[in-house]
């Protein structure tokens, strides 16, 4: 297996979230490792959260499993009714179809890094805390109206 050199992979902080929901992830920096590694069945991203940043809005997928491995620093896993500290070596799994909205938030004063495994969402994604829903690759308000 070829070694992956993170320094050769573009680090971006783009998001598809509409305003005002994009601000929560402004300090999230992502390197998509799968394409450069030739992976096509699932994605792997190296994610760095700056202090105060979130990995995403709290969400869950109807048809996408997700798995994260903390590499360095610390973040708080925020999910339905729970807040769990996550440190280097900690892992979390989010089975598809389980309505447990989740996100990682860096509440520390230093960067944290983790690997996120999943695949591109092909089904609906739910955001329990905000007026947003992803369906057919398009973000809309929960009543179906456009942003």
Report yes or no on 81 lying in a domain. yes
Report yes or no on 27 lying in a domain. yes
DSSP string covering the chain, please? -PPP-GGGS--B----PPTTGGGGGTTEEEEEHHHHHT--SSEEEEEEE-TT-BSSSSBEESS--EEEEEEESEEEEEETTEEEEEETT-EEEE-TT----EEEE--SSS-EEEEEEE----S-EEETTTTEEEETTEEE-TTS---
How many domains, the chain?
1
pLDDT in the model for residue 1: 55
Report yes or no on 146 lying in a domain. no
pLDDT in the model for residue 28: 98
Task: Say how far residue 82 (Cα) sits from the centre of its chain.
Answer: 18
- Could you tell me the mean pLDDT of each successive run of 10 residues in the chain, 147 residues long? 88 95 98 92 96 98 96 98 97 97 98 94 92 95 95
pLDDT in the model for residue 119: 87
Q: Dihedrals φ, ψ of 8, to 5°?
A: -95, -5
Task: Note the pTM of the prediction, 2 decimals.
Answer: 0.94
Report yes or no on 94 lying in a domain. yes
CATH number, residue 56: 2.60.120.10
Report yes or no on 145 lying in a domain. no
Report yes or no on 69 lying in a domain. yes
Report yes or no on 70 lying in a domain. yes
Report yes or no on 147 lying in a domain. no
Q: Which residues span the domain enclosing 102?
A: 6-140
């Amino acid at each position: 297996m070829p070694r992956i050199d993170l320094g050769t992979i573009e680090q971006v902080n783009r998001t598809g979230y509409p305003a005002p929901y994009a601000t929560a992830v402004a300090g999230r920096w992502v390197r998509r490792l799968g394409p450069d590694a030739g992976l096509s069945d699932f994605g792997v991203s190296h994610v760095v959260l700056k202090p105060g940043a979130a990995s995403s809005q709290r969400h869950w997928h109807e048809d996408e499993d997700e798995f994260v491995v903390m590499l360095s620093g610390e973040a708080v896993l925020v999910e339905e009714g729970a807040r769990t500290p996550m440190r280097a070596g900690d892992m979390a799994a989010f089975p598809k179809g389980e309505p447990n909205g989740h996100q990682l938030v860096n509440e520390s004063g230093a960067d944290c890094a983790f690997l996120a495994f999943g695949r591109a969402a092909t089904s609906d994604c739910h955001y329990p805390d905000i007026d947003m829903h992803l369906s057919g690759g398009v973000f809309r308000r929960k009543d179906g109206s456009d942003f």
